[in-house]
Amino acid sequence: MHQHPRHAVSRSGGMPVRAWLQPVLIALVIVSVFIGCYIGFRRDPQPHGLPIAVSGSRLPEQVQHGLGDAVDVHTVDTPADARLALDRHDVVGALSRSHAGAVLPLDVAGADGALGPQWHPAHCCDGFGA
């Protein structure tokens, strides 16, 4: 019995090798591409144009200069206006100088739209002037 070389039978005498090898290789390629894309896109995410409300006279310019394209600064007159913009979901964060001037409280909106806790890191604002 003469077999055509394209349809070589496995040594065990079962299905031709090509019949199971081709789908397995295609599946491995698809899985590899999916994993590569998934890991590649999540590897080093950087924010771009996050809208934040900033109150103050010099603070908005300092924040824009310090953070660059990562944020889109919406200048407001008072901390209450910044909080209102956050409540209306016009921005994702509200930054304003405290009454003492030493702390910059940052209010953020949660993923469900509820406002999160205030963030008061003492070291986050180095270089933004007093």
User: How is residue 117 written in tokens?
Assistant: 């806790």
Question: Residues 104-128: pLDDT tens digits?
Answer: 888 888 776 555 554 444 445 544 5
Q: Is the pTM of this model over 0.75?
A: no
Max Cα distance, the chain (Å): 95
Average pLDDT of the chain, as a whole number: 78
How does residue 7 score in pLDDT terms, banded at 50, 70 and 90?
Answer: low
Helices (H), 3-117: 17-42, 59-67, 79-87
User: How is residue 48 written in tokens?
Assistant: 């771009």
The pLDDT value recorded for residue 111 is 72
Q: Which of 6-15, 16-25, 57-66 has the lowest mean pLDDT?
A: 6-15
Q: Cα 89–95–93 angle (5° rounding)?
A: 30
